[in-house]
Amino acid sequence: MSGMPSEGDIELRAHPGLTAEATEAVLELRPSGSWVSLNMAELESLARSAGGKFGRSRSVKLDFSAVSEIDTVGAWLLEKLRRRAAADGQQVEMTGIAENYVGLIEEVRLVNRRAIAPAPKQNPAVTKLTDLGRWMLGTAQDLAVFLEMVAALSLALLRILRRPRSLRGTSLVYQMYRIGWQAIPIVVLITFLIGAIIAQQGIFHFRRFGAESYVVDMVGILVLRELGVLIVAIMVAGRSGSAYTAEIGSMKMREEIDALTTMGLDPVEVLILPRVVALVMTLPILAFVGSMAALYGGGLVAQFYGGMGPAIFIARLHDAISVTHFEVGMLKAPFMALVIGIVACSEGLRVKGSAESLGQQTTTSVVKSIFLVIVLDGLFAVFFASIGM
Amino acid sequence: MDDSGKLSAIRVTDLVVGFGRQIVLNELSLDVRRGEILGLVGASGGGKSVLMRTIIGLIPRRSGTIDVMGTAVGGAGERTTQNAAARWGILFQQGALFSSLTVKQNVQFPLRENLQMSPILMDEIAIAKLEMVGLRSEDGDKFPAELSGGMTKRVALARALALDPAIVFLDEPTSGLDPISAGDFDALIKTLQQTLGLTVFMVTHDLASLNTVCDRVAALADGQIVAIGPMSDLLRSDHPWVKAYFHGKRSQMLQPKVS
């Protein structure tokens, strides 16, 4: 085992060297020491400087006898020198290769034979156009995927309505527990704070006109019509939508979805429908709880910051808001839930094999569902205004 | 060659590894010689992978020493140093390729982290490694999710060999491959072992690999190495588990060839 490092000398490797002696007839290259990847930095510069001596002699001689050890990297660097000489039409002779390295040197002669074609340069205008086309195609595909999911869900729902016993009750209740019950503390905390902040800002600014009492109108209408449901929907999209995408995505990666399909089960019916239905049923409840917490926060601020007692607050609230405001808010909730659920599940199904794609689809799912929830809210505002609600 | 002439690549002495109350490896001793292919067999769940993972430092040990290439491997919980990482390459059972990197980037990863190398040279070395394990340079731009089982194993082997380690650990290299691919992979291991002068430590259940590529086979039972030697010695072993393993129904078909 002449070339192998002996016991304990892993750190103490012979210094690599490369002498090049050029005469008219022959350029003699004599690598020495340890040509291994640990000495990489030196090896590359040695090989480069030896390259400068090429072209003056008729033939090249590579003498390996002073090499104490060599690995793929070292062998490849010397092989590159050899190929360069051969490409110039020079005779190359290799001598003194230790017996245990013959195989390696021979092997390296066979690799990297085919030049890698460099990527053809693109016209920048064409690239821009291609990107634009890709983007448009991607958007169209997004829409198609969304509609496909709506269709698949409707079909699954129809099947369930025909055979109600095939509804996965356990899964449904478990999902409701996870995205509804477990979300209540954080939803209550955040909506409470937002209600309090709105009330404080309102009192601070309305005080200048002596219109503090109208803060109750503002908080009441804003929370019940818009903010309660919107904030809760955004939170649910971030909290549960992302979880749906990640769950379904990793099931896709581990071929669990394929396994379901091969057992004759519809993944939409088994995995996605319970999740979406749970979301549609729990989001209105969460929105209601959140709205109440926001009103409570507003009321507390009105009492301690605005000096308006609870009885007056409630009485004013009674005058300011009607059931219509409450209905408008609650009516929006299931539609927002549907959008979040569909986006989260369809993005989950689009996860490909890599860990990166899982992260990417989860991000896309949250961004897209928050965007769509806000767009939907705007559409509802127009709709309710036009029917006079 | 006689025993004294060969230095040991891995020397495990009185190794004890356990989880909670369960002792998996009980005062196990094992010598792997330099330049040999050692196959390790044992019952499923019997501690083969635990032994391998303890040697490479992924599982802490209770007592005992492990020497790799003449240097003691650190105690429990110590991080493997860069030097140690360059000393061995590991082929995990499922490949464990980084799924967000291309095949070429996977092979370049250890190079990039451990060495200073120009990007062109890094590309050339990565392609050289891929060609050495029997892949084409075009495969370098694929992602791990696009590879077949056999290709995944080959890429994982190329990555394990990226730093030209002295020792390679293979965890069930042929599991999940069809007999032809498995045979090709065995031949590849043998070829690379000869060209690169590797020491190979292979955990396997593949009787054909044990028979064709392994210089020696070690049998692990009851937390200890109960038999070690060339395949022919193991076939003659009297240990009941070894007997059951090599003379069971499934291995009957191999008998005419080896005896």
Q: pLDDT tens for residues B51-63?
A: 888 888 778 888 8
CB contact under 8 A, A1 and B7: yes
Q: So what's the pLDDT on residue A306?
A: 87
Q: Is A120 exposed, middle or buried (0-12, 13-18, 19+ CB in 10 A)?
A: exposed
Q: So what's the pLDDT on residue A8?
A: 41
Cβ neighbours of A9 (radius 10 Å): 12
Q: What is the spatial distance between Cα B199 and Cα B192, in angstroms, rounded to a whole number?
A: 10
From residue B217, give the alpha-carbon distance in Å to each of A199, B15, B41, B187, B202.
78, 19, 7, 17, 9
Residue of A116, A351, A357 best to disrupt the B interface, most CBs of B under 10 A: A116
Can you tell me the ipTM of this complex? Answer: 0.70
Q: So what's the pLDDT on residue A242?
A: 95
Q: DSSP per residue over B183-204, as a string?
A: HHHHHHHHHHHHHHT-EEEEE-
Min Cα separation A356/chain B (Å): 5
Q: So what's the pLDDT on residue B132?
A: 82
Is the CB of residue B153 less than 8 Å away from at least one CB of chain A?
no
**Percentage of residues in chain B having pLDDT higher than 90:** 0
Q: So what's the pLDDT on residue A274?
A: 92
Chain A residue closest to B134 (CA)? A111
CB contact under 8 A, A10 and B87: yes
Which chain B residues touch A44 with a CB distance below 8 Å? 117-118, 121
Which chain B residues touch A103 with a CB distance below 8 Å? 194-196
Which B residues in the span 198-257 are in contact with A, Cβ-Cβ below 8 Å? Answer: none
Q: So what's the pLDDT on residue B3?
A: 46
Identify the bridge partners of residue B201 per DSSP, sorted by sequence position.
Answer: B38, B169
CB contact under 8 A, B35 and A352: no
CATH 3.30.750.24-classified regions of chain A: 17-110
Min Cα separation A22/chain B (Å): 26
Contacts of B36 (CB under 8 A, 6+ apart): B6, B9, B199, B200, B215, B216
Q: Span B192-220, mean pLDDT?
A: 84
Token reading at A171: 């899964």
CB contact under 8 A, A112 and B144: no
Q: So what's the pLDDT on residue B254?
A: 57
* Mean pLDDT, chain B, whole residue set: 79
Q: Span B84-111, mean pLDDT?
A: 80
Q: So what's the pLDDT on residue A10?
A: 44
Q: So what's the pLDDT on residue A237?
A: 94
Is 0.80 surpassed by the pTM of this model? no
Q: So what's the pLDDT on residue A311?
A: 92
CB contact under 8 A, A71 and B123: no
Is the CB of residue A45 less than 8 Å away from at least one CB of chain B?
no
Is the CB of residue A37 less than 8 Å away from at least one CB of chain B?
yes
Is the CB of residue A73 less than 8 Å away from at least one CB of chain B?
yes
E strands present in chain B: 8-19, 22-33, 37-42, 63-68, 71-72, 88-91, 167-171, 199-203, 216-221, 224-229
Say whether domain A17-110 belongs to CATH 3.30.750.24. Answer: yes
Structural domains counted in chain B = 1
Q: What is the spatial distance between Cα A316 and Cα A312, in angstroms, rounded to a whole number?
A: 6
Token reading at B241: 């588990």
Is the CB of residue B9 less than 8 Å away from at least one CB of chain A?
no
Identify the domain containing residue B246 by its residue range.
Answer: 3-258
Interface A:B, Cβ pairs < 8 A: 103
Is the CB of residue B95 less than 8 Å away from at least one CB of chain A?
no
Q: Judge whether A280 and A338 are in contact, CB under 8 Å.
A: yes
Please choose, from the candidates A4, A2, A63, the residue with its C-alpha nearest in 3D space to the C-alpha of residue A29. A63
- pLDDT class for B14, splitting at 50, 70, 90? confident
Residues with pLDDT less than 50, chain A: 1-11
- pLDDT class for B5, splitting at 50, 70, 90? very low
Order the strands of the B37-42 sheet from edge to edge: B88-91, B167-171, B199-203, B37-42, B216-221, B224-229
Q: So what's the pLDDT on residue B83?
A: 57
CB contact under 8 A, A37 and B163: yes
CATH label of the domain that carries residue B69: 3.40.50.300
Pairing of strands A66-70, A26-35: parallel
Which chain A residues touch B164 with a CB distance below 8 Å? 36-37, 71-73
Helix, strand, or coil (residue A55)? coil
Q: So what's the pLDDT on residue B236?
A: 81
Min Cα separation B69/chain A (Å): 7
